[in-house]
Structure formats: C-alpha cells, structure tokens
C-alpha cells in the first residue's frame, strides 16, 4: 500500500499541469447529453442514485469497474470532466477520496461535494495513524447505512432540482422500503447460526458484520499484505474457533487466503463489494456467507 501511495503521488503531480488544457478543450458532458451531471466515486453509488434520481441525471463514476478504490488514480480526462459536475457525492473515507478529493476542490473551488458518511454511525479504525483513516471506509456494505445515504441523496437532489422534489421523494420512499425488505431477508438468513466467525482478506464487511452479529477476522491490516506471522495467527484462530469460511474480494489476490484454506480445510468464497448492482450483490454475499457458516456445523 505504501508503494501504491508513492506511485499515486507521482502520477498526481504529473497529471495536474495538463488539466487546464484539457478543461479548456473538452466538450461538456452536460451539453452532449442534455442532462445535469452527478459524479460519484464507486459503482454502488451510481446504483443508489439511479434508484432515487431515475434518469434525470447523468451519473459519472470515477473508479471504473474492475479497478480498486485502494489504488486507482483518475485520468486527466476524468478530472477535466468534473468541470461539468452539479454535485459530487463522496462515499466517505475510501483511499481514492482521501488522496484526491482535496485536489479536486483545489482545481474546482466551487465543486459541490456531499459526504454520504456524514450521518452514519461510523466504526473507528483501530489501526488508524492519521486523520484520513479514522473510520472503516466500507460503509455501503450495510443496508442500514445505505438507507441513511438514500435520505441524504434525496435531500440533496430536492435542493438542486426543486421542481422534481416530489418525484425524488416517492422514489426514495420506494427504495427505502426495498432496503428494509433486504434487511429482513439478511436477518432471517443468519438466525440460529451457531458459528458467526469468518476470515476475510480485506476487511470490507466490517459494517455488515456489526449489523448482523458476525465476527470478521481480517488478513490485511492498513492495506498491507499479510505477513507470515498474521497468517499463522489466523490459522490458529481458525482451528481454535472452528472457522472454515474465508472471504476474498474479487479485486484481490487469493493466494494468501488459499494458504489458510489448505491448512484448515476452509472454503473460499468470492465477493464483489464494488459491484454496480448493490442489491443483488448484498444478497449474494448473504447467501454465500450464511450457507458456508451453516455448513461448518453440519
């Protein structure tokens, strides 16, 4: 992770000098599409906003599919396109935003940035060493959190586009009802499960685990690849607690997790927290995780 940060800073200072040329020459997205533009950091946010905004805005996503918000640097063209943004919804505390949001504000002092983590009950990062990393960043992996985000999105859109406030309110209410239904499904899946512990390479399910009474044991700490000591420690925990479920995010290497699986007879399940279709992904994660946890005690 330290290497990624150094490379990111180098690229950042190479990119900035050419931005103003690109800003002057690019064709505004607003004019090309006839719609105001909302920019977000990650794909799930696009899903949330479309649920509430419908097709009234063009949604621009900074971190593209297949990329990781841990180490992605925007292209000069992406940064230039921010000149057309009506509002930028940041998800909160992901590494991409910690590195780039202030730089975006420096380039565009009037950029309207709304932080969707403002009203959430955040979980402190126990390994934080600076102000940017004080809370766990994967806030969107909690239906309860997404419900709060949805309300914040609605309130922002209602101010930006008062003419369609009732339209956004109806869609927001409908989406919150959908989230409530998802929450009930998830709770039912974890009823009467004897084992609540799972190992995860990257701690993407911190809020999810909190909400549903699960115990997450991360391999990766502060973005650093797990050492042999950490791997051995988790193998011991796995054996002691009878943990056989190992979760790996799609964007990460599985080799370290495979070592634990081989040593303990564990099962690796793959998840994608950056999937655009948040609803189907959160239910897929629930099905995989609950089935694996139940299987441990059959």
In this predicted structure, the answer to whether residue 24 has a pLDDT above a threshold of 80 is: no
Predicted model pTM: 0.87
Domain extents in the chain: 2-185, 192-295
Give the mean pLDDT of 222-245. 90
Do the domains 2-185 and 192-295 sit in the same CATH topology, yes or no?
yes
Sheet holding 113-115, edge to edge: 58-61, 37-40, 85-90, 113-115
Determine the topology of domain 2-185 in CATH: Rossmann fold (3.40.50)
CB of 93 closer than 8 Å to CB of 123: no
Residue with token string 């299987």: 295
Spatial CB neighbours of 297, under 8 Å, sequence gap ≥ 6: 194, 195, 242
pLDDT digits (tens, 9 = 90+) for 117-127: 999 999 987 66
Does domain 192-295 bear CATH number 3.40.50.1980? yes
pLDDT digits (tens, 9 = 90+) for 148-180: 999 999 999 999 999 999 999 999 999 999 999
Give the SS3 label for residue 117. Answer: coil
Predicted confidence (pLDDT) per residue in 44-77, tens digit: 999 999 999 999 999 999 999 989 898 899 999 9
- Is residue 194 over pLDDT 90? no
- Round to whole Å and give the CA distance between 212 and 217: 15
Residue of 70, 20, 69 lying closest to 42 (CA atoms): 69
Predicted confidence (pLDDT) per residue in 74-87, tens digit: 999 999 999 999 99
How far apart are alpha carbons 251 and 230 in whole angstroms? 21
Q: What is the mean pLDDT of the chain?
A: 88
């Amino acid at each position: 992770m330290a290497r990624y940060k150094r490379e990111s800073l180098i690229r950042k200072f190479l990119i900035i000098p050419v931005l103003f040329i690109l800003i002057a020459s690019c064709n505004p997205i607003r004019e090309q599409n006839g719609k105001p533009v909302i920019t977000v950091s990650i794909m799930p946010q696009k899903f949330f906003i479309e649920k509430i905004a419908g097709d009234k805005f063009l949604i621009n996503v900074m971190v593209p599919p297949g990329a990781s918000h841990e180490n992605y640097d925007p292209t000069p063209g992406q940064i230039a396109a921010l000149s057309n943004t009506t509002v930028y919804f940041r998800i909160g505390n992901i590494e991409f935003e910690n590195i780039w949001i202030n730089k975006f504000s420096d380039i565009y002092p009037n950029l309207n940035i709304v932080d969707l983590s403002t009203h959430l009950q955040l979980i402190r990062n126990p390994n934080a060493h600076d102000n940017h990393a004080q809370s766990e960043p994967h806030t969107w992996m909690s239906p309860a959190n997404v419900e709060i985000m949805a309300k914040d999105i609605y309130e922002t859109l209602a101010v930006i586009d008062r003419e369609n406030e009732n339209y956004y309110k109806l869609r927001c209410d409908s989406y919150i009802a959908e989230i409530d239904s998802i929450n009930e499904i998830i709770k039912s899946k974890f009823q009467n499960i004897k084992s609540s512990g799972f190992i995860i390479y990257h701690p993407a399910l911190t809020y999810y685990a909190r909400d549903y009474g699960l115990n997450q044991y991360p391999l990766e700490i502060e973005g650093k690849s797990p050492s042999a000591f950490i791997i051995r420690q988790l193998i011991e925990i796995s054996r002691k607690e009878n943990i056989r479920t190992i979760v790996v995010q799609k964007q990460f290497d599985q080799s370290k997790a495979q070592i634990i699986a081989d040593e303990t007879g564990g099962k690796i399940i793959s998840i994608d927290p950056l999937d655009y279709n948040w609803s189907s992904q959160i239910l897929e994660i629930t099905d995989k995780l609950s089935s694996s946890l139940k299987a441990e005690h059959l």
